[in-house]
Amino acid sequence: MRKSILLTLLIAITFISCRKKGCTDPYANNYNSTAQVDNGTCLYDSIIPNIASLIINTSHVFENKSFSFDSIYQDNFGNQIQFSRATFYLGKPKYINTSQSTIDSNNNYVLIDPTNTSYNLGAVIPGIYQELDLLMGVDLITNHLDPAIYDSDNALSYQSPSMHWQMGSSAQNWSYLFIVLEGLVDKNGNNNFDAGESFVFHIGNDGLTSEINDIIVNLIVQEGENEILEFKVDWSRFFDGIDLSTNNFTHTADNPTLADAISNNGVNVLQVQ
């Protein structure tokens, strides 16, 4: 499995430098039909008629409790935990129509976090769609582009706190942080968060995206009319099967097994309302 991922990465890196960059949004004024990689340069009129966008509204929970950074929860093993940071990338929507054809509408990404409840996933080509595929993380090509090419209001631009690893001078060695979870965990069960009792999960690098496929949506997209989907984000599902008293730290490379587990659990975090 890992050999396959490494081979895929090597092939992708070989072609990144020769893939033509430009605006890949067909609704933009400067759409470039020959561009293979969107470089964030798309230009639009101040008012764009007849374009539909997908808006996703989110409610945030931990199991059956409303999510709050001030709240204390329990993982599956009874450990008390409190979050200080929780966020992940979501995007690259693919729409499956009634003929089972897949429409790659855009390459947009949003940064999901509990302090926001509404996100614009970008333009949707008019049509009737019964399923939606989403990617948690960032795709293989976009993952190695320079965040500096994006406008500051783009989720893929540089963020504070950082959502990007920049190792060395070559973007081929860079990666976005796909999932970031941080907080406190009562490791010894004394009902206190003692010094050093924390959890930190920074998940990134190629091969650690989560494909959330076959989401039943039944969308009828018409020109100029935005479509809205309601999602529940259950942050507890990232920790399924993980005892935070003993497995509570990874920057991916230092504990790839734990990073894999967090990434794999990502497919269960989103639920259509």
125-134, 140-149, 189-198, 223-232 — most confident range: 189-198
8-12, 98-102, 154-158 — most confident range: 154-158
Q: Is 158 left (phi over 0), alpha (psi -120 to 50) or beta?
A: beta
pLDDT of residue 201: 98
Out of 22-26, 107-111, 145-149, 214-218, least confident range: 22-26
Rg (CA), the chain: 19
- The pTM score is 0.83
pLDDT of residue 11: 47
Query: Quick one: what percent of the chain has pLDDT higher than 90?
Result: 69
